[in-house]
């Protein structure tokens, strides 16, 4: 009887450990996905800012050119 009880307790502990590991793995994956998403959002915003900068730069060039001609 004691052997069965020990086996059951060991199995329960190992199942609990497996669940805990799965939860930690899921949380890590969630954080990695979140970081990647944020990195892509930042990259996209930087690209938009760069595009806007170049557009404004060209507009200013044209205005200066028009002003002096």
- Predicted confidence (pLDDT) per residue in 6-22, tens digit: 999 999 999 999 999 99
Give the contacts of 29 (CB within 8 A, at least 6 positions apart).
none
> pLDDT tens for residues 27-43?
999 999 999 999 999 99
Average pLDDT score over the chain: 95
The pLDDT of residue 69 is 78
Helix/strand/coil percentages in the chain, nearest 5: 95, 0, 5
């Amino acid at each position: 009887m004691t052997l069965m009880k020990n086996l059951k307790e060991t199995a329960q502990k190992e199942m609990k450990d497996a669940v805990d590991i799965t939860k930690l793995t899921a949380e890590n994956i969630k954080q990695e996905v979140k970081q990647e998403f944020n990195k892509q959002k930042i990259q996209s915003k930087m690209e938009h800012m760069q595009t806007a900068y170049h557009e404004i730069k060209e507009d200013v060039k044209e205005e200066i050119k028009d002003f002096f001609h």
